[in-house]
Amino acid sequence: MAINLTAYHQILGELAPYKARLVAVSKTKPVEDVEALYEAGQRIFGENYVQELVDKEAVLPHDIEWHFIGHLQSNKVKYIAPFVKMIHAVDSLKLLTEIHKQAQKNNRVIDCLLQLHIAAEETKFGLDETELYDLLDTWQQEQTQFSGVRIAGLMAMATNTTDETQIRKEFHQLHSIFDTVKNKYFSAQDYFKERSVGMSADYTLALQEGSTMVRIGSMLFGERNYNK
């Protein structure tokens, strides 16, 4: 078996005091590995690629809660809208509008997280602070046009660095923007509560800085090989 059950139980132990949840990131990994972690009790799995997610969902148990954590193109929302539980990386009004449309077609409400750009790298996706507030202003003015989506919180990725001070600063920034957004737009909505931050390399810091959801792949499933 390729999965690391020792790491799985260790992570669950670390999450428990914070009441944070684990998204097991299974992208590029075979169905058998997902099944093995499912057998161990895991129910929330995260995927980055639409076709791979659709293929896995079709053959795996139906009580799995699938989270889409990658960059999502609007024209592909329709393939995952029938079943996806949460979309983590929403970074435009266009995408949010399309998720709403496809959710309605399926008589569903899909939980979405807005992706905030906190990393120093230019290449990572996500909204800057101004874009975030612009999007939320529109959402607030036209809420009936977004009844198929529920904005459940924020998501971010820290800079890929070993500098803990830098990473901590970025997670801290996310948390403070979360508090501002919560007060300004969601003070009466208890579903706006998620901070999806932390991966294999930095989830311990993320938890200390208020993460409610960590997305962990390689620590559970081993390193990914993209050229198989």
CA dihedral sign, ordered 74, 224, 175, 186: positive
Q: Which CB atom, from 74 or from 218, has the smaller least distance to ligand PLP?
A: 218
| H or E segment to which residue 205 belongs | helix 203-208
Q: Which CB atom, from 110 or from 156, has the smaller least distance to ligand PLP?
A: 156
Instruction: Dump strand ranges (E) for the chain.
Output: 21-25, 44-47, 65-68, 86-90, 110-115, 149-155, 194-196, 213-216
Q: How many chain residues bind ligand PLP (CB under 6 A)?
A: 14
Binding mask 47-86 for ligand PLP (x = CB under 6 A): -x--------------------xx----------------
29 lies in the binding site for ligand PLP (CB under 6 A): no
Q: What angle do CA 167, 24, 89 make, to 5 degrees?
A: 60
25 lies in the binding site for ligand PLP (CB under 6 A): yes
Which residue's C-beta sits nearest to ligand PLP?
217
Burial label, 62 (beta-carbon count in 10 A; 0-12, 13-18, 19+): exposed
Q: Which CB atom, from 22 or from 148, has the smaller least distance to ligand PLP?
A: 22
Residue 56: which of 75, 23, 80, 74 has the closest Cα?
80
Q: What angle do CA 8, 13, 18 make, to 5 degrees?
A: 120
In this chain, which stretch among 96-104, 137-145, 179-187, 198-206 interacts with ligand PLP, using CB under 6 A?
A: 198-206
Rounded least distance, CB 142 to ligand PLP, Å: 28
Cβ count near 141 (within 10 Å): 8
167 lies in the binding site for ligand PLP (CB under 6 A): no
CA dist., res. 92 & res. 95, Å (int): 5
Rounded least distance, CB 21 to ligand PLP, Å: 14
Rounded least distance, CB 83 to ligand PLP, Å: 19
Rounded CA Rg of the chain:
17
Q: Which amino acid is at 124?
A: K
Q: Which CB atom, from 44 or from 185, has the smaller least distance to ligand PLP?
A: 44
In this chain, which stretch among 50-58, 92-100, 180-188, 209-217 interacts with ligand PLP, using CB under 6 A?
A: 209-217
- Can you give the binding site for ligand PLP, defined by CB under 6 A? 25, 27, 48, 69-70, 157, 199-201, 215-219
